[in-house]
Amino acid sequence: MKKSILLSTVLTLALSASSITFNDAPEVTVRTMPASKQTILSYNDAIKEATASIVFISTKENTASQSPQIHPFFEQFFGQGRIPREFQPRQGLGSGVIISSDGYIVTNNHVIDNADEISVSISGDSTEYAAKVIGKDPKSDLAVIKIETKKELHAILMGHSDTLEIGDVVFAIGNPFGVGQSVTQGIISAQHKDSVGINEYENFIQTDAPINPGNSGGALVDSRGALIGINSAIMTRSGGNNGIGFAIEVDMVRNITKQLIESGSIARGYLGVSIANLNKELRKLYKSSKGAMIVQISPDSPAEKAGLQRGDLITEIDQKSVESAAALKNIIGEYKPDTTITVVFERDGKVKTLELKLGDLSTDQLYAQADTSLLEGVQLSNLDAQTRYSYRIADDIEGVLITEVDVSSEAYDQNLRRGDVIVQIEKHLTPDIAALSKVLKKYKDKYKRLYINRGGRIFVTVIK
């Protein structure tokens, strides 16, 4: 009996020890519907204005296809090895957005990259237009193409990134799975996503408006029908839409397309640092809780010349707050070479300021790709913090990154692939392009063993 009374007392005390008062929403007293049975809620007027600016893009790429390994039974007839390559066209589909009445169209770079032929179809127009490439920017995954026509095309209305808010109603317009123009609805789920790991330069809108294959390069528009982003990618485990789509923000689209149309290429400022985010432990060493910490400085770079040091935490560029390493990369990428900028940073608990003149990213050895003649059919790049992140390469791996492989090359036949890291040739380590170039010259026109790191595993291949 005593135990029962004691248990009852303990439970009573436990239940009364804490309480909560909820912030109740006002009682719902009214539900509304359209004013009459002849009225429905619709965004048709805004959407039909935007859909007139969306095009369908089809591409053809003449690539070498390798037939499978010959079955042993047939070796007596065909010999060992593989059946010779045959050239077969590879076709692709995507979308694009008309941004000027005289035929300029923006799309994703991955939609038209490596295409030998690009065709454009406009909704309601039976003509199929041949398009030419005006400029490409793989780092942001944007490209501009152009078609020639005497018709005045319908250019889309352009929005501005700074007017967007989470929760805004948006529509994704494109050509999913090649079924023809379609529109899906959602909201802005998040803004300024810059660490997704899809592109080298990222400033994404996240949306739950369904984006599917074929929608790439199409428009994300607001409820007025104004362009706010270029649909680029989805995050999925199954290949289907899981409600997490990404569109490149319209301000980045404006900046990149303007440069591509005016000059055919992108010139980006170069600071010359490898950078990292602050983690829980590093935050204990700085007064600032956000920023980009310098972990490496390239010799003779603008950063070194200005006096920046390893361990400095960059918090501001020209009064623009630097929230993260990716944010700093995006900010610097918006400036042209030779621009003078003001850098605010923290060093030893003190806030300091300096000015420096940016270099040219395209000419810097740390980021520049080697000519394909160095290793025929292969494009190469040194490893840095960004490429390691993009290709998921561990910090303890040293070597030269393969960024592209021509499928018709010997290198492709010898199993070299994009994302591989060349760590050694014969007995010589290859920590960077300069070292690799020196070794290749030594073994010029000779068969040589290449040691490749792929996903943490080492394999060897032979190439001449």
Q: Are 423 and 399 in contact (CB under 8 A)?
A: yes
- Per the listing, tokens 């995050």 go with 235
* Catalytic option among 53, 95, 140, 216: 216
Residue 168 appears among annotated catalytic residues = no
Beta bridge partners of 69: 82
Q: Are 173 and 229 in contact (CB under 8 A)?
A: no
User: DSSP labels for 252-316?
Assistant: HHHHHHHHHHHHSS---EE--EEEE---TTGGGG-S-SSSEEEEEE-TT-HHHHHT--TT-EEEE
* Catalytic option among 58, 110, 288, 420: 110
Cα separation, 76 vs 214, whole angstroms: 45
Contacts of 464 (CB under 8 A, 6+ apart): 410, 445, 446, 447, 448
Residue 110 appears among annotated catalytic residues = yes
Residue 420 appears among annotated catalytic residues = no
Helix (H) or strand (E) holding 325: helix 325-334
CB burial readout 337-360, b (16+ within 10 A) else e? beeebebbbbeeeeeeeeebebbe
What is the residue type of 337? P
Q: What is the DSSP letter of 72?
A: G
What is the residue type of 114? N
* Catalytic option among 141, 194, 251, 312: 141
Cα separation, 427 vs 136, whole angstroms: 39
- Active-site annotation, residues: 110, 141, 216
